[in-house]
A and B are shown apart, each in its own frame.
Chain A
Amino acid sequence: MADASPNNGNTEKMVAVLYDELLAIAHRLRRAERDDHTLETSALVHEAFLLLATRHANAWQSREYFLAAAATTMRRVLVSYARARNADKRDARLRTTLVSVPDAFRSGDALDVLVLDDLLDRLTLLDARGAQVLELRVFGGFAVDEIAEILDVSPRTVKRDWRFARAWLVDQLTTVSHE
């Protein structure tokens, strides 16, 4: 799995810490009564940032570093969730919504998080930064400008990376997987 952090050395440590925290936060958000019954991962990641930033004041090297690690962690949390659910032979309830039109909740429109994880791994081999951009966008819910800041590249580069990674992913989903 790819590291989404610009500073790979310490990311493992960070992810280890974040993993539990994110799980706890996810549980916590579930406990709090919600009307929509779904959690957006970006909300989780931002929630984690706010919470951890208050709790560990200056413990993180930078906001960018934290957010990148958080997106990676989020991916791992979701993947392990999905694996556990699949092992239970129950519906994998973690889905990437691929179709943005509202009320498109038919199962055919939802991409299993494990498939996405797998595709991301493959993309990493071909285009590491494109995969990072995709990871930050999809699992972290970050906007172009934020991703540019996190990866320390220009927004234009992010847009181009995103354009390509997205095209590759769509291509993989529409052609390769149906071969």
Chain B
Amino acid sequence: MSDVEARWRRVREIFDLAADEPSESWPATVAREAGSDEALRAEVLRLLAALQNDSIDIDRVQVDAGERADGRERIGAIVANYRLVRLLGQGGMGAVYEAVRADGAFDHRVAVKLVRASRGGRELAERFRRERQILAALGHRNIARLLDGGTTEDGEPYFVMEYVEGLPITAYADAHRLGLPERLRLFRQVLAAVEHAHGKLIVHRDLKPANVLVAQDGSVKLLDFGVAKLLGAQDGDELNTIAANRPFTPEYASPEQLRDEPVSAASDVYALGVVLFELLSGQRPYDVPSRSPVAVLRAVESDRPLPRVVASAELDSILRKSLRPDVATRYRSVAQFDDDIRRFLAGLPVLAQPDSFAYRTRKFVRRNLALVTAASTVILGLVAAVVLMFMQSRRAAVERTWQSTIATVTALEASGNVQLLYAGLAQSDSSFARANALCQTRPDRARVTPICTKVTLDLGVSAFWHGAMPQADTLMQQAIARARAAPGTSQATIAAMMSSLAQVRDAAGDYVGAERLYREASTLFTEAGANLGPERIGMLGYFAICLERQGRLAEADSLVQIELLYVAAPAAGILLHAAAIHAEENRIDLARAEEQRGEPAARIIIDDTMTLHHVKMAEVVGSLRLRLGDVDGAIAELRGVLGTAERRYPADDPRVAEIQDALGDALVAKHRPAEARPLFETALATFEKRFGAAHPQTVAAKRDLDSVK
């Protein structure tokens, strides 16, 4: 260590020591520690004194994003023969002024927009000349005319526009207390103007109430048409391929615009949807904590449904269709949007349909498309066949096909593909609707109902597994309602379903709701005289976890103890689960204790019955051990379960790959990368084949493999 380093270290030591004490004792402490080294003493004391200097606080770095110049300073200035007389508004993009002809040649009021843009300014005049014809084509009584544009002597882009006196459409509607039909008719004027511009291949890109003014006589004027295009236009700019590199307002921007993706007429449709939403409800569709594009995008793309703000279902559908994040399902054109509003006003059926089940599950399905397609083909075929045969009254054939459906479901369940099966079913709105219809309308519904109930419940389980808690909740509630309505359903069956729903609520963080359901289910089990079978044991174990998560460890523990008295084996899974939770929360001692209690019993199940659930359990045991620092134990466990899984499942089964991946991780932790490598390679090949290259598991496996290369 160099002298400088040694001295510095000493400074730091004394500083830390003294700074932990009250300031009165600093001089004494520093004097004691520094001894005769006067310079050292002085330096530490000076640093300590700096601690008390609270006039300086190192805060965050702020970047001044642009001139702070107050727009009012420019009043009186002359821009392109116009004298700026009044500031009409200013925002991040620039300021807008009311202006008059400077030479007083004639009384002509215009609006001049000075744009604060650091780039593109120089070419603007040139571009304006080039675009003049297109802009001239925008002659529409509802579009404010763009008269001139260019750059000032300082290189500042400007636009001269027709001066419009009016209120933003939302403020106008409120000021005049317009009713719903009037608001819609006003909005149709806006749509007509935008449609006209789209016909000339000009997209507005920044539609918002501030750009949609209504004059005193009730006529609409759209501002800034062509401005966005001029500010960012590039050669070869076409309606559908415009690079999004130009100003927009996040709250009204379409998701594609927020993502900086190509913008099309549908992007204006979206912005118009936001404006309509606001016009009808006084609020914006999404409650966004910050105005940053990514924050808005996350709100838009979240699974949170749009609030319903209008009484009419049709109008609600129209709003939703205009606001679909996915361009493909949005109104394709302003004309379609307008047509639906016209139909609504005329009392005709609208083309927009309420969000379907399929639509709601689509996000999930899109992520797992390859998997789902295969499964949906199977189930679609079956359901379609059944419906067809019902219609043909071929009862015997129906019976046979139902049998084969059930057989397929059972087979898929046994092979672990049940998730796919139900995901596939969920994807198909029509098949789900048909299954529903079968449950409700067929005369022999007593036969069909249990199957539909099971389908619904399993869809709920599928949603739960994929983390879609609201959907899982709805589906399970439906299943429970259906099971209750069906004659002859046992109390124990309903209780088991309630236990599943409780798990969903628990996972969604609704501990109170979960607890209420667990207690209800418990009562039902008791009333049904059900003994402590696996379902009830399982439920109480999960109930224990729910309590444990709330910090009610004593209650949770007593439940687990009671269960253990009756049946050791099934509760083992719960204990391991609890152990995993402990480990997750870094309560290593508790985790270890739970694991030791649960492990011997779990071992029996794992070794004897190697079902899907138990493979997963063994994997949990292995991963748990790794997390607890028992690398050797993890390796042994995972090797064991891998052997079983390989015998039981096809070599390229994803579950085999998952275990291979986990074992690889453990081997890497053991510093045996050479052994991990072939495992990662096989796992990667499987994931790639089954899920595709972009799937998170594939990517993760690739990363694992790269790390040992």
Size class of the contact patch on chain A: 35 or more
**A127 close to B8 (CB less than 8 A):** yes
Indicate if A78 sits at the interface (CB-CB under 8 A).
Answer: yes
Check A37 against B57 for contact (C-beta < 8 Å).
Answer: no
Interface centre among A37, A74, A78 (most CB of B within 10 A): A37
Report the nearest B residue to A105, measured CB to CB.
Answer: B68
Q: Which of A97, A163, A167 has the most CB of B within 10 A?
A: A167
Question: Looking at the complex, which one of A42, A99, A167 makes contact with B55 (CB distance below 8 Å)?
Answer: A99
Residues 78-134 (chain A) with a chain B CB within 8 angstroms: 78, 81, 93-100, 113, 116, 126-127, 134
Contact of A96 among B58, B92, B250 (CB under 8 A): B58
Contacts A30-B66, A37-B92, A58-B700 given: A166-B58 contact, CB under 8 Å? yes
Partner of B50, one of A42, A78, A174: A174
Answer whether residue B543 sits at the interface, using C-beta atoms and an 8 A cutoff.
no
- Using A39-B65, A126-B8 as known contacts, say yes or no to A32 and B59 having CB atoms under 8 A apart: no
From known contacts A35-B92, A126-B8, infer whether A51 and B294 are also in contact, taking CB-CB under 8 Å.
Answer: yes
Interface: A149 (CB within 8 A): no
The answer to the question of B61 belonging to the interface, with a C-beta cut-off of 8 Å to chain A, is yes
The one of A58, A94, A169 that contacts B61, using a Cβ cutoff of 8 Å: A94
Nearest B residue to A56 via CB reads B699
A51 cross-chain contacts in B, Cβ below 8 A: 294
From A1-9, A12-20, A135-143, give the one contacting chain B: A135-143
Complex formed: what's the CA distance from A29 to B64 in Å?
Answer: 12
With CB as the reference atom, state the residue of chain A lying closest to B94.
A33
Q: Within 8 Å of chain A (Cβ to Cβ): is B310?
A: no
Assess whether B57 is in contact with A33, with CB atoms less than 8 Å apart. Answer: no
Q: A33, B247: Cβ atoms under 8 Å? A: yes
Q: State in angstroms the CA–CA spacing of A5 and B120 once bound together.
A: 37
Q: B648 near A: Cβ within 8 Å? A: no
Contact string against A for B residues 472-486, beta-carbon threshold 8 Å, 1 for contact and 0 otherwise: 000000000000000
> Do B60 and A138 have beta carbons less than 8 Å apart?
yes
> A37-B65, A39-B65 are known contacts. Are A169 and B58 too (CB-CB below 8 A)?
yes
Q: Indicate if the CB atoms of A173 and B56 lie closer than 8 Å.
A: yes
B692 lies within 8 A of chain A by Cβ: no
Residues of A within 8 A of B92 (CB): 30-35, 37
Q: With A167-B48, A171-B46 in contact, do A32 and B293 touch (Cβ < 8 Å)? A: yes
Which residues from B are CB-within-8-Å of A100? 57, 59
The answer to whether B65 touches A78, judged by C-beta atoms less than 8 angstroms apart, is: no
Instruction: Say yes or no: A96 contacts B59, CB within 8 Å.
Output: yes
B674 CB-CB contact with A under 8 Å: no
B1 CB-CB contact with A under 8 Å:
no
Contacts of B262 in A (CB 8 A): none
A153 sits at the interface (CB 8 A):
no
Choose, from B12-20, B339-347, B635-643, the stretch at the interface.
B12-20
Given contacts A28-B260, A32-B250, A163-B19, contact A141 B60 (CB under 8 A): yes
A126 surroundings in chain B (CB, below 8 A): 8
A137 to chain B, nearest CB (A): 7
What residues on A are CB-neighbors of B56 within 8 Å? 98-99, 170, 173-174
Q: Which of B46, B60, B61, B696 has the most CB of A within 10 A?
A: B61
Q: Mark B281-308, 1 if CB is under 8 A from A, else 0.
A: 0000000001111110010000000000
Q: Is the CB of B12 within 8 A of A127?
A: yes
A-B pairs, top 10 by smallest CB distance, nearest first, are: A33-B92, A170-B50, A100-B57, A167-B50, A171-B50, A93-B64, A58-B699, A50-B294, A33-B91, A41-B61
